Structure formats: structure tokens, C-alpha cells
Amino acid sequence: MNFDYTDDQKALKEEARRFLTAASPLTVARAVLENPGDGYDTALWGRIVEQGWCGATIPESYGGLGLGYVELCALAEELGRAVAPVPFASSIYFFAEALMLVGSEQQKSELLPLVASGELIGTLAVAEGAGVLTEARISAKVSGGRVFGTKLPVADGMAAGRAVVLAQGDDGGDTGLGLYLVDLIGEGVSREAVSNIDPTRGAARISFDGAPAELLGEASKGLETLHRIQERGAILLAFEQLGGADRCLEMARDYALERYAFGRPIGSYQAIKHKLADVFVKNEVARANAYYGAWALSTDAPELPVAAAAARVAGSAAYWMAAKEMIQTYGGIGVTWEADCHFFYRRARHLGLVIGAPRDWKRRLADSLEARVNAEKQP
């Protein structure tokens, strides 16, 4: 039993923090905010690639480092803390995970080395406008090996070179949703940047008009497979959320110690102390659930779906609370463009929505809990 990182993992995490403190100060995120371009900082991305982080959990045989998932969780926590404006989550937690989970040998050996080396950025292109993602809401179609339809929003959609697209298949009698690999640089693809709540993580509208689409994983099992991919990625995103929430609490605490009102630091008033204690408790709830998720992910435990949903629900709630209460603690200066608070407020919202809102994950969690209790009742 060990409710903590190992010493080696702690060393990796400290090294990552040192690196990101130097390479990704909030001025880097600010530059992207003010001039979004493709929604990420290419120089920072290059330096992260040089660190080898993109290949952290990719096996060495595919050009990665073959580290464990807890190591990747540690990196995610630091990337979240730094509000790093890079497409790491889309490419590593989701695109690479999709390939490793259901990719064919050929797909893996073609694409994983490119992801690990940073030459290729990947993403998921699944949503089609407002609402919870259900089978009935997907109208993108694959016909004769080509995909037609529009995806909105696609996270890091301008940065990515390849996407995993959720679409209705009709090849060879296979109907139902499938996942398809599509080259975003090739024919039949048009895309445009779309302004979104967190410009430091770009978003796009991507239209497919006959782009070549290659089945990834089993036909007709697209939604089920997507959920499995998202569960794995949700745990990694929960660490980004935790890192961000922890930093919000630290910033609020530091500000409350420096700012004086009525002759005392505002942090000496119980109105502020108790607020920040509530944030601390929420962060501990997120940490406990994220750690459990990391364990489930690294051991492929049967608890993974429950642990992932719980980590996502707790991480989303904690980051939201920590970001908004940090601004409340800062007072007026906190709501200005000039202050750094809005990076966290924006990123908290981005992370909470980008793979489905907490409401959807609560539904999934309740479904899993009910299934667990029903299974226990079987004689």
C-alpha cells in the first residue's frame, strides 16, 4: 500500500516542474492568448518533445520510453500546473492511447513512432455541436473508405496532423459507429480555427468531404471503444486538473498573505481562511480519486471505469472551485485581462468540457456503481 509517488517518480516530477517553470512561465500562455494562431506555442512544444515526454508510455519498440502510467500522471500534473499551451493531452492521452488500445500492428508501427518523436500531433474528432455525445447525434458517415461530415469542436484541431474520427460506417454491411483514422493534411479536409473559452488550447471546426478514412479497432464498436479511450485519458486529464487546482490554491494563499485590508493580511480573516480550507478539502478529494485512477490505469484494474469517472468528476469540481475562489480572493485585480487568474479559470472550464461535461461522467459513474452492486448480488 502506498498513497504516494515513489521516490523515482517524485524526482521525475520535480525535474518536470523545474523544466516547466523555466520553459513555460505564464508569459508563454499569454502570448498564445493574445495571438492564438494554431492554439499552441510551437517553441515550447519543441522543447517538450526534446524532453521525450511524448513517448513516455509508448513502448520502446515503437520509439517511446516505455515508462509506466504513474510517470505520465506525474508529467500531466506538472503540465496542468503550468497551464502549458501545448497539444500534449490530445496527442498523448487520447490519440496515442487510442492507437495503443485498439490499433493494428501496422497502424501502431506507422504512427506511434511519429507521435513519440513529436513529428505528428494527433487528436480525437468526435463531437458534432451541442449536447451529450450519443449515437443518434453523430451524422458523420464513412462510405467507400471515405468520410463525410463536420466535427465541432475538435480540440487542437489546427495543430493536429491526424485525427481519430467517430462516424457511422456503412462499409461491407457494417453499420453503427466506428472510429476512423484520417489524415488532416490530405485531400477532402477543410478546417478553421474556432474561438474557444481557453485560447491556450486551440479548437477547430473540421469538415470532411471524402477524406480517406481507415478503420481503427472494431467496426460498430466506435462509441464503446471511444469510452474506453476516454476513461484512460480522463485519469491523465484529472492530474492536469489537480495540478491546476493546487496552483490556484497556492496563488490564493500567497495573495491572501500579501494583501492587507483593515490593517491585517486578508488571509487572517476566517472568511478567507475557511474558503481556502474548503478549496483544500476539494483538492484532497480530487487527489485521492486521481491517485486511485493512476493505480487503476497502471495496473489495468477492473475498477478502471469507476476510478476514471470518479477522478474526472472530482478533478473537474476541484479545479472549478479553486479557480473561481482564487479570483474571489484576489478581488478586483483578479478579473482583469492583465492578471494571470483567467488562465486557470479558462483552463478549468476547458478541461471540464473537452471530453464531455461532468454530468455525462456522473451518469457513467452511477451506471458503473449500479452494475457493481448488481454483480455483487448474484449468488
> Which residues here bind another protein, judged by CB under 8 A?
1-5, 70, 249, 253, 256-257, 264-265, 267-268, 270, 272-274, 276-278, 280-281, 284-285, 288-289, 291-292, 294-295, 298-299, 309-310, 313-314, 317, 359, 361-363, 365-367, 369-370, 373
What is the radius of gyration, based on Cα positions, of the chain?
Answer: 21
Q: Indicate the residue among 5 and 343 with the shorter CB distance to another protein.
A: 5
The three cell numbers of residue 362 are 456522473
Q: Indicate the residue among 106 and 374 with the shorter CB distance to another protein.
A: 374
Q: Indicate the residue among 201 and 247 with the shorter CB distance to another protein.
A: 247
343 contact partners, CB below 8 Å, separation of at least 6: 26, 29, 30, 33, 83, 200
Nearest to 256 by CA among 328, 207, 149: 328
As measured in angstroms, the least distance from the Cβ of 253 to another protein is 5
As measured in angstroms, the least distance from the Cβ of 207 to another protein is 34
The three cell numbers of residue 139 are 451524422
As measured in angstroms, the least distance from the Cβ of 329 to another protein is 11
As measured in angstroms, the least distance from the Cβ of 373 to another protein is 6
The answer to whether 194 and 162 are in contact (CB under 8 A) is: no
Q: 126-139 b/e with 16+ CB inside 10 Å = b?
A: bbbeeeebeeeebe
Residue whose C-alpha cell reads 513512432 in the numeric block:
113
As measured in angstroms, the least distance from the Cβ of 237 to another protein is 15
Q: Indicate the residue among 162 and 282 with the shorter CB distance to another protein.
A: 282
Cα dihedral across residues 113, 118, 120, 125: positive or negative: positive
Residue whose C-alpha cell reads 500522471 in the numeric block:
73
Nearest to 182 by CA among 152, 206, 155: 206
Nearest to 81 by CA among 281, 340, 267: 340
As measured in angstroms, the least distance from the Cβ of 178 to another protein is 28
54 contact partners, CB below 8 Å, separation of at least 6: 48, 64, 88, 91, 92, 96, 115, 116, 117, 118
Q: Indicate the residue among 221 and 273 with the shorter CB distance to another protein.
A: 273
As measured in angstroms, the least distance from the Cβ of 96 to another protein is 21
H-run or E-run covering 153: strand 146-155
